[in-house]
Structures are given as structure tokens and as C-alpha cells.
């Protein structure tokens, strides 16, 4: 199972997930002791510079394929994966860049977060509304343009304005985004890549 993720073989991952169901293996065990091991390995290799973005994307897609097969089995058994936290992610209004944000969502879902991906060019009001609706722990906002980065500040301020600052923490990311920008706007977390984002999110929620 782990190897199918490491190799980015989405069809094989789905096939192995189906086999695990037929063998009566607990889907939680299949994910935590099988597929997630592969995700963690690719993440570690990426962090060390031994794997690159294409491998990360392929591993994420393979993990999605496995989860898609196992999800109905969770529901049938009435069991659930342990959820580390709920995060709403979006690319800010005026920005249509998708790849980095989508990868963060995929990898966070694989790591055990409940992810609500609102897409690109998302108004702040929609982000806040969704965060309230799902009782989110985190909001992750991406900006790939220096001209749209200011919207990240607006999200932080909106969270403060409606009194959610104590309950919802804001993470920021994107090519022009830096740690100093995060500090300047009062966001809670920043990462320059998807694997780092998982670690930051876990830290913010005390899950490490």
C-alpha cells in the first residue's frame, strides 16, 4: 500500500484499497498503517530535497484514489478516520492560481484533516461563512500575486472583526508570501510548501 503511494500509482492504490475491503481489513488500519506510511515517506523525501513537486502531486493523487475507494466502507461500518482538525482553504479573491492550494488540500486530507476547498477567486465573505458553517479550526488562504496578497490581511481582519480569532486560526501561503508577511498581518501560520503546511497546522492545533 505504502509503495503504491510512493510510486504515485493511483490505479494500483485504488486496487489495493479494494482488496483490503474484500479481505475485511479495517479501513482505518489500511489508511493509517498502509497508505499514510507512503505519504509520510514522500513528505520526508521532499523535505530533504530527495523528491520534488511532481512526486508530491502524484503521491497526493494516489492517496485520493485510495481514500475514494475506502470512504464508502467507512460509512458502511459506521466508523470514521480520526480527524485532526477542520480547515477551509481557498485562493483569495482576484487570484485564479490553483495548483499549490489544491496540493495543500490533498496532502492535508491524506494526513487526516477534514478539508473544505472553496477553489479560486473566493470572496472573503464566502471563506468566513464556510468557516462558521463547518466550525473550522483553521483557514488557509493562498495568494500567488503580490497584488492579491493584501486579501490575506483582509481575511485575518475579518476573522478578528466577527470574534472568531480565539477559535479559528489563519494560515497563509503562496509564492510571494513570507514569514515576515505572516507576522506583519497577524496570521497564525505560514509554510512555503504543502508538507510544511501539514506540520504547521498540526503545531497550531497541538497535534504533533
Q: How far is residue 42's CA from residue 29's CA, in Å, rounded to a whole number?
A: 19
Task: Single out the residue of 188, 178, 193 nearest to residue 85, CA to CA.
Answer: 188
Q: pLDDT tens digits, residue range 78-102?
A: 777 778 999 999 999 999 988 788 8
To the nearest 10°, report the CA torsion of 112, 140, 125, 119.
-80
Indicate whether 64 pLDDT > 90. no
Chain mean pLDDT for the chain: 92
Q: What is the DSSP pairing of strand 169-173 with strand 189-190?
A: parallel
Residue with more model confidence, 159 or 165? 159
**Residues of CATH 3.40.50.280 domain(s) within the chain?**
86-204
- Alpha-helical (H) ranges within 9-52 are 10-22, 27-30, 36-47
Residue 176: predicted pLDDT: 93
Distance CA 170, CA 69 (A): 31
Percent of the chain scoring above 70 in pLDDT: 100
Ranges in the chain annotated CATH 1.10.1240.10:
2-77
Q: Which listed CATH number (1.20.59.10, 1.10.1240.10, 3.30.70.270, 1.10.3720.10) goes with 2-77? A: 1.10.1240.10
Q: Which three cell numbers stand for residue 14?
A: 485504488
Look-up of cell digits 514569514: 179
**Contact by Cβ (8 Å): 122, 91:** yes
Residue whose cell numbers read 489500511: 30
Residue 60: pLDDT band with limits 50, 70, 90: confident
CB 87 within 8 A of CB 136: yes
Q: For residues 168 and 137, is the Cβ–Cβ distance under 8 A?
A: yes
Which pLDDT score is estimated for 110?
A: 82
The highest-level CATH class for domain 86-204 is: alpha beta
3-state helix, strand, coil in the chain (%, to 5): 55, 10, 30
pTM reported for the whole predicted model? 0.80
Query: CB-hemisphere CA count at 13 Å for 130?
Result: 20
**Mean pLDDT of all residues in 30-51:** 89
Amino acid at each position: 500500500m505504502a509503495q503504491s503511494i510512493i510510486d504515485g500509482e493511483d490505479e494500483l492504490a485504488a486496487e489495493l484499497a479494494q482488496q483490503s475491503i474484500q479481505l475485511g481489513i479495517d479501513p482505518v488500519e489500511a489508511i493509517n498503517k498502509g497508505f499514510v506510511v507512503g505519504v509520510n515517506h514522500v513528505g520526508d523525501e521532499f523535505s530533504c530535497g530527495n523528491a520534488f513537486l511532481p512526486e508530491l502531486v502524484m503521491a497526493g493523487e494516489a492517496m485520493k484514489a485510495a481514500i475514494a475507494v475506502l470512504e464508502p466502507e467507512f460509512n458502511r461500518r459506521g466508523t470514521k478516520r480520526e480527524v485532526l482538525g477542520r480547515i477551509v482553504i481557498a485562493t483569495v479573491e482576484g487570484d485564479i492560481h490553483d495548483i499549490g492550494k489544491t496540493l495543500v488540500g490533498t496532502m492535508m486530507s491524506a494526513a487526516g484533516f477534514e478539508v473544505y476547498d472553496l477553489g479560486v477567486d473566493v470572496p472573503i465573505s464566502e471563506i468566513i461563512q464556510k468557516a462558521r458553517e463547518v466550525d473550522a479550526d483553521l483557514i488557509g488562504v493562498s495568494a500567488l500575486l503580490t497584488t492579491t496578497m493584501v486579501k490575506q490581511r483582509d481575511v485575518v481582519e475579518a476573522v478578528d472583526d466577527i470574534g472568531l480569532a480565539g477559535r479559528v486560526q489563519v494560515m497563509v501561503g503562496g509564492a510571494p508570501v513570507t514569514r515576515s508577511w505572516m507576522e506583519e498581518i497577524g496570521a497564525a501560520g505560514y509554510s512555503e510548501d504543502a508538507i510544511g503546511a501539514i506540520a504547521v497546522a498540526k503545531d497550531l492545533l497541538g497535534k504533533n
